[in-house]
Each structure stands twice: as structure tokens, then as C-alpha cells.
């Protein structure tokens, strides 16, 4: 790892770990230009446990992360990635997941009773666009494939321009998919920019989903090493602490009910 004892050791392998630089609080570049976020911090801990590897964190866009990991520009990448069928053809998923993510619908207060994608679809509501390369897009798409008679209106867009909370509150859309973490920081937190909307919008979780680092298909050894390290971190409850720190909630409490 990056420990001092490893200096000068020929066996140490430098690997590039890409992270989505604009995905707070999962991964982002902080005010000082340093990478941080739940995903990044877990990987930093993993790095410490792996004396044979030295991680270099490279911030990039999520498009580039996917292509870069696939092409071997990066050995691995973290971007709050979900598991999808297509991705297994391009990437190597490790045994151990990285974290948990609560995916939910942001809704206006009066729509509080909508608790699932089925309810949302039945109401005929409109959904904020999701960037096509975001796994949230795939999650909804999978739902739609499973419920051809009651699909959610799904639109591809650019994450840069979509402010889900504002859009829902304005009425530009009826709902939007969001990860709980950002919603927490934006609305629930006292210093959140939309704390004043706390009484107007709600977050209704519809699923808790495992997130994964993506490895280049050649990186079987690295993935195995990662597996060992993460297993240890989970046992030490390190991940639960990070979940608390970045998402304001220990998602591992509901791990039993997580099915993907």
C-alpha cells in the first residue's frame, strides 16, 4: 500500500483508480482539489491494506470512467456503480460490494403516498431526465422491461443540468430518482441549500442497492486483493462508519433486505 514501509519496494504496483469527480457525496473533488467521498474513502482504506499496490486516484467524467476502465486506461473505477447485466460483459465485478446506496423518488409533499416505481408509473407521472450512462437509468429501464404494461416515463439527459429537487418543487417534473445521500445533504441537513424546502419535498426510498467498484477485465488479481481488503473493512465496521459520515445514515442496517 501507500504505507511508508513500502517505499522503494519493487513489488509495489501502481494502479490508477478513476472516480467520478462530480458526484457528491459518493465521490467528488473537495475545495482543496483533493478526491473524497464515500467511494473514494473506502478505496483509500483498501489501499492501506494492500502493501503490494499503490493507488493513484484520477478524477474524470462518468463517461470517461467507463470507457477508460474498459480500455485499460484505468485499472479500476468508482462511481457509485450498480450491478447491471451489460456491464458484466465489459467489466470485472469483484466478489465484495463496495457500499450501499439508497435509491428513492423525490416527490412533492402531496405525493407522499407514492412509495414505489409501480405507484409512480400508475399515476402517469413524469420523471426528471437521467444521464444515459448512469446506472439509475438502467435500474428504471429494467423496471420498465419487467413491467411493460405499466412503465415509467424515462428520458435520457445530462446530469449537469438537472437539479432534481428544484425541478420537482417547481413542478417541472413530478418526480426524480435520487440517491439518499445527496438528498440528505441538500434538504435534510440544516445548512443544505434547499433546507427551506424540507416541508415541500419528500424522499421515498424504493430500493437499497449495492454499489460496486468496476475493474478492468484483466485485473483479476487486483480484484481479488480488493475482495480481501474490503471483507476485512466490513468486519471492522469501517464501512458503516463511512456510510454514517457521508450519507448521514448507516445503510448496512438494512443489508438483509437488499436484493441486488
Partner 1 sequence: MIEKYFDPSYIWTAFSQLMPFLKVTFAVSGLSILFGTLLGLLLAAAKLGKSTAARKLADAYTTIMRCTPSIVLLFLVYYGVPFLAGQFGLNLHDVHTAVFVVITFTLQFAAIMSEVARSAILSVNRGQYEAAVSVGLSPLQAYRRIVFPQAVVVALPNFANGLIALLQEGALAYTIGLIDIVGKANLIVAANFNAHALEIFIALALIYWVLSILIEQFFSLLERWLGRGKRTIKTT
Partner 2 sequence: MQQSLNIPFLIDTFFTALSGVPITLAVTAVAMLIAVPAGFLLALSRVNEVPVLREITKVYVSFVRGTPIIVQIFITYASVPLILTALFEKYGIQANVYELNPIWYAFIVFSFSTTAILSEVFRSALSTVDRGQLEAAWSVGLTGFQSFRRIIIPQALVSALPNLATATVNLIKATSLGYALSLQEITLKAKVAANAGYNYIEAYIDIFLVYLILCSVVEFAFKKYEQRAARFRVQHV
144 near partner 2, judged by CB under 8 A: no
Full DSSP string of 65-131 = HHHHHHHTSSSEEEEEEPP-HHHHHHSB--SS--EEEEEEEEEEGGGTT--SHHHHHHTT-BB--EE
Which of partner 1, partner 2, none interacts with 132 (beta carbon under 5 to 8 A by kind)?
Answer: partner 2
Q: Which of residues 5-24 bind partner 1 (CB under 8 A)?
A: 21-24
x-or-dash string of contact with partner 2, 3-42, rule CB under 8 A: ----------------------------------------
158 near partner 2, judged by CB under 8 A: yes
Report the C-alpha gap between 152 and 120 in whole angstroms.
7
Report the C-alpha gap between 58 and 73 in whole angstroms.
11
x-or-dash string of contact with partner 2, 191-230, rule CB under 8 A: ---------------------------x------------
Beta bridge partners of 211: 99
For partner 2, which is the closer residue by CB, 114 or 239?
Answer: 114
For partner 1, which is the closer residue by CB, 8 or 160?
Answer: 160
x-or-dash string of contact with partner 1, 132-171, rule CB under 8 A: ---------------------------xxxxxxxx--xx-
Is the Cβ–Cβ distance between 42 and 227 less than 8 Å?
A: no
Is the Cβ–Cβ distance between 54 and 225 less than 8 Å?
A: no
Q: Which of residues 77-96 bind partner 2 (CB under 8 A)?
A: 86-87, 89-90
Q: How many CB atoms lie within 10 A of CB 237?
A: 12
Amino acid at each position: 500500500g501507500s504505507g511508508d514501509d513500502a517505499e522503494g519496494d519493487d513489488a509495489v504496483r501502481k494502479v490508477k483508480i478513476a472516480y467520478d469527480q462530480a458526484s457528491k457525496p459518493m465521490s467528488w473533488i473537495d475545495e482543496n482539489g483533493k478526491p473524497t467521498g464515500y467511494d473514494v474513502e473506502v478505496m483509500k482504506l483498501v489501499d492501506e491494506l494492500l502493501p503490494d499496490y499503490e493507488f493513484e486516484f484520477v478524477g474524470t467524467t462518468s463517461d470517461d470512467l467507463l470507457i477508460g476502465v474498459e480500455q485499460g486506461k484505468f485499472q479500476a473505477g468508482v462511481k457509485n456503480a450498480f450491478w447491471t447485466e451489460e456491464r458484466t460483459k465489459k467489466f470485472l465485478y469483484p466478489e465484495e460490494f463496495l457500499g450501499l446506496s439508497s435509491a428513492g423518488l423525490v416527490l412533492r409533499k402531496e405525493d407522499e403516498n407514492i412509495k414505489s416505481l409501480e405507484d409512480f408509473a400508475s399515476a402517469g407521472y413524469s420523471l426528471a431526465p437521467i444521464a444515459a450512462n448512469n446506472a439509475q437509468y438502467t435500474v428504471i429501464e429494467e423496471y420498465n422491461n419487467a413491467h411493460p404494461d405499466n412503465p415509467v416515463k424515462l428520458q435520457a439527459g445530462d446530469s449537469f443540468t438537472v437539479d432534481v429537487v428544484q425541478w420537482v418543487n417547481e413542478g417541472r417534473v413530478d418526480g426524480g430518482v435520487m440517491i439518499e445521500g445527496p438528498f440528505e445533504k441538500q434538504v435534510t441537513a440544516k445548512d443544505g441549500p434547499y433546507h427551506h424546502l424540507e416541508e415541500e419535498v419528500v424522499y421515498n426510498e424504493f430500493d437499497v442497492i449495492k454499489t460496486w467498484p468496476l475493474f478492468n477485465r484483466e485485473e483479476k488479481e487486483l480484484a481479488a486483493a480488493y475482495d480481501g481488503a474490503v471483507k476485512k473493512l466490513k468486519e471492522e465496521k469501517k464501512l458503516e462508519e463511512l456510510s454514517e459520515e457521508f450519507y448521514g445514515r448507516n445503510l448496512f442496517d438494512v443489508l438483509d433486505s437488499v436484493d441486488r
